[in-house]
DNA sequence: CAAGATTGATCTGTCAATCTTC
DNA sequence: GAAGATTGACAGATCAATCTTG
C-alpha cells in the first residue's frame, strides 16, 4: 500500500507513518470483511443483497410504505439508474410495485407490497443478530462513542472534499 | 434498518438499541463514502481501480516483484477467478505479465513489469495524500489506537464466525 | 481425487442517451 | 431547459464448469 520500507520513494508525497499505515490497513480489512459478511448473511438467509434489503427497509419506515424513486435513491446511496434496474427485479419478485406519483406526473412511487413487507420482517432479525454479534458484542460504550464520532468526522470530511466528484 | 420505532417486531430478535443503531449507521455511511472516495481518487488521478492499485502494490512489495496467482488472490482479497480476469486486463495494458512458475507446473506467477512499477510510483503519492487528508488529518493518537484495535477485533470476529461461508 | 488456474455464461452496475413532464 | 425516470450497451464480478498437474 505504501509502507515505509516500500520500494516507492518515501519523499514523493506526504507519506503515511508506520502507525497510520497499520491503522489504515486494519480499517481496510475490517471494512472489506464486514461488508462481505453482511452481504453473505443476508444472501444466504434471505436471498437478498445488501442494497435490496435496504430498499425494503427504507420503504417500510414510511407509514404508507411508499417513497419516490429519487428519494429512495438518496436514502439507499444508489444512482437513479441503478435503482431503476434494481426495482425492476424486485418488482418481478413481487416485493415492490411502481405507481405514478399523484401531483407530479414525472415522478414514480415505489411501494412495498405485502409480500415485500413479509420478506423484510423475516429477514430483519437475522440481520440485526449478525450486526450485534459481529460488531457490538465485544465493544465497550466508550469505544462505541469513539467509533461513531470518528465515523461521522470521516464521512463529513469525505463529503466536504470533492474527492468523489472532481479534480483535486 | 431496524430502529426501535421500526414496523418490524422488536422482540423477533436481539434488537439494536438506539445507540448501537446510530453507531452502526454512522459506520455504514463512513465505509461506503470512504471507499467510493478512494475509488474515485485513484480512477481519476491514475486510471486504476482500487483493486488494480492493490495488485500492483502487493507485487511491488516483493523483492522480485512476483507473486503466485493464488497468493496474490489472498492478499488482495479477490477470488482466483476475479483475479484471473483482472490480470488479463492488466497484462493487456502492459503493467503485469504472467509466466509459468518454476517448480510447480500448475502454478502461474504474476510479475510486475517496469511500466507497471512506474505506474504505481506515479499513483502512490496521490493515494497516500488522500488517505491522510480524509482519514488521519483530524484523528488524535488516542482515537487512532481505538480505531485500530476495534477494527482488528471486528475483523477477527468476522473471520471466526463462518458468516462469510456457511450456515449460521 | 485435490490444487492451481482459466474460461464462458450470467448477473449487476455504470454511463450515455432518451423520453416525458415541469 | 431542468427534473424525474427509464433504457440499452458496455464493463466488471460471480458462479459453475473445465483443464492440467500433483
List pLDDT tens digits, range A49-62. Answer: 999 999 999 999 99
On the question of pLDDT at B163 being above 80, the answer is no
Q: What do you get for the CA distance between the two ends of chain A, in Å?
A: 21
Asked if A33 and B150 come within 8 Å (Cβ–Cβ), the reply is: no
Q: In terms of DSSP bridges, do strands A108-112 and A96-100 run parallel, antiparallel, or are they unpaired?
A: antiparallel
Q: State the average pLDDT over residues B44-61.
A: 97
At residue A64, φ and ψ (nearest 5 deg) are -95, 5
On the question of pLDDT at A77 being above 80, the answer is yes
Q: What is the pLDDT of residue A15?
A: 81
Asked if A7 and B60 come within 8 Å (Cβ–Cβ), the reply is: yes
Q: Of B53, B137, B43, B13, which Cα lies nearest the Cα of A123?
A: B13
Instruction: Give strand letter and number of the nucleotide nearest A80 (CA to C1').
Output: D5
Q: What 8-state DSSP symbol labels residue B92?
A: H
Q: State the average pLDDT over residues A85-109.
A: 97
On the question of pLDDT at A12 being above 50, the answer is no
Q: State the average pLDDT over residues A90-110.
A: 97
- CA–CA dist B93, B53 (Å, integer): 13
pLDDT tens, residue by residue, B100-132:
999 999 999 999 999 999 999 999 999 999 999
On the question of pLDDT at A98 being above 60, the answer is yes
Place of cell 504474476: B110
Q: What is the pLDDT of residue B10?
A: 45
List, as ranges, residues 124-163 from B with C-beta within 8 Å of A: 124-139, 143-144, 146-155, 157-159, 161, 163
Q: What is the pLDDT of residue A165?
A: 58
Cell of A79: 444512482
Q: The whole model's pTM is what?
A: 0.89
Q: What percentage of residues in chain B have a pLDDT greater than 90?
A: 83
On the question of pLDDT at B162 being above 90, the answer is no
Q: Select from A3, A14, A40 the Cβ nearest to the Cβ of B163.
A: A40
A26 close to B (CB below 8 A): yes
pLDDT tens, residue by residue, B8-26:
544 445 688 899 999 999 9
Mean pLDDT of chain A: 90
Q: What is the pLDDT of residue A16?
A: 87
Amino acid at each position: 500500500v505504501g509502507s515505509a520500507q516500500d520500494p516507492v520513494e518515501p519523499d514523493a508525497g506526504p507519506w503515511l507513518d508506520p502507525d497510520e499505515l497499520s491503522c489504515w490497513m486494519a480499517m481496510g480489512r475490517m471494512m472489506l470483511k464486514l461488508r462481505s459478511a453482511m452481504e453473505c448473511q443476508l444472501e444466504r438467509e434471505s436471498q437478498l443483497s445488501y442494497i435490496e434489503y435496504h430498499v425494503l427497509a427504507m420503504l417500510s419506515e414510511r407509514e404508507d410504505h411508499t417513497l419516490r424513486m429519487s428519494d429512495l435513491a438518496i436514502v439507499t446511496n444508489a444512482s437513479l439508474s441503478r435503482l431503476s434496474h434494481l426495482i425492476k427485479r424486485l418488482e418481478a419478485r413481487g416485493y415492490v410495485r411502481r405507481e405514478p406519483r399523484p401531483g407530479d406526473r414525472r415522478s414514480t412511487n415505489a411501494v412495498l407490497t405485502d409480500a415485500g413487507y413479509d420478506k423484510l420482517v423475516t429477514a430483519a432479525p437475522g440481520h440485526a443478530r449478525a450486526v450485534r454479534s459481529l460488531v457490538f458484542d465485544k465493544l465497550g460504550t466508550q469505544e462505541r462513542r469513539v467509533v461513531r464520532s470518528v465515523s461521522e468526522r470521516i464521512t463529513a470530511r469525505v463529503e466536504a472534499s470533492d474527492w468523489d466528484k472532481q479534480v483535486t
